[in-house]
């Protein structure tokens, strides 16, 4: 991750997640930090999963 403030380059988007996923995120993230948690999880996923698997359709 770059040394850029999380909110300095942030953009609001709408996504739909299963209720169980949202409950897990809420259980693991600090109050008011849901977006930051998701951002870090996605950054980790992209950094650790081989690129060929990232582009494979679900």
Q: How confident is the model at residue 34, as a pLDDT? A: 95
Q: How many independent structural domains does the chain possess?
A: 1
pTM score of the predicted model: 0.72
Full residue range of the structural domain in which residue 23 is found: 17-54
Q: Identify whether 25 is part of a domain.
A: yes
Q: Identify whether 48 is part of a domain.
A: yes
Q: Identify whether 30 is part of a domain.
A: yes
- The kind and range of the H/E element at 8 are none
Q: Identify whether 21 is part of a domain.
A: yes
pLDDT tens for 2-54 read: 445 566 788 999 999 999 999 999 999 999 999 999 999 999 999 999 888 87
């Amino acid at each position: 991750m770059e040394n850029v403030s999380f909110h300095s380059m942030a953009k609001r988007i709408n996504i739909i997640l299963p209720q169980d996923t949202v409950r897990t995120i809420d259980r693991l993230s600090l109050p008011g930090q849901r977006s930051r948690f998701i951002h870090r999880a996605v950054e980790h996923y992209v950094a650790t999963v081989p690129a060929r698997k990232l582009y494979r359709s679900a």
